[in-house]
Structure 1
Amino acid sequence: MAKESTDNVTIDLFQSQRRPGRPKTNPLSRAEQMKLNKRRQHRRDRARGLKRIELKVEESVYVALNQSAEAQGMSRSQLIERILTEAMALTDQDV
């Protein structure tokens, strides 16, 4: 039986051949793409007037925030911002 390059029925004949994967569409490496995307995200956030805050919390607080945010249909970031805004409004009233 002859091996035809267009024969897909006898696939076992082609197991040794490497099939081309998804073609490379971007000249940058994945790491460089991620770095560029993160830089663009920071610029978009800055243009929207957003500032970055990083904090560490106990896992129980983290889980509670996730559950509460999901129940209210918002992101965890939006929930934390709302909690902080409400807390700041309360402290402004007390002063």
Structure 2
Amino acid sequence: MAKENTDRTTIDLFADERRPGRPKTSPLSRDEQLRINKRNQLKRDKVRGLRRIELKMTAEAVDTLNQLAEYRQISRSELIEEMLTAQLANSRK
């Protein structure tokens, strides 16, 4: 019997052949891995005293925030927190 490269029915002929692609390192599905990673991230944030909030903004405002955060070399989240903290401090005076 001749070995045909496209023949995948005779597994023994291809046992030592490396298949392209990333090897599977976890028995969990990708969705389950993402769910677990997100849960772990939320736990880490909680330990650090962080809480999640969501807000909707115009694309123009987000672009401006991104540019300012990049200029100051901080994350957008850090920039928004600084701005809110400063505004709250001013309103208390």
Q: Same fold (TM over 0.5)?
A: yes
In 1, distance between residues paired with 2:79 and 2:57?
A: 15
In 2, distance between residues paired with 1:87 and 1:39?
A: 31
TM-score when scaled to structure 2? 0.80
The percentage of counterpart residues that share the same residue type is 52
1:71 matched to 2:71: yes
In 1, distance between residues paired with 2:39 and 2:82?
A: 26
- Where do 1:15-94 residues align within 5 Å? 16=6, 20=19, 21-93=21-93
What is the RMSD of the two structures over their aligned residues, measured on CA atoms? 1.8
Tell me how far 1:29 sits from its aligned partner. Answer: 0.5
Q: What 5-or-longer segments of structure 2 have no aligned partner?
A: 9-17
Q: What is the aligned length? A: 82
Tell me how far 1:24 sits from its aligned partner. Answer: 1.1
Whichever residue aligns with residue 83 of structure 2, its letter is I
Q: What 5-or-longer segments of structure 1 have no aligned partner?
A: 4-12
TM-score when scaled to structure 1? 0.78
Whichever residue aligns with residue 71 of structure 1, its letter is Y
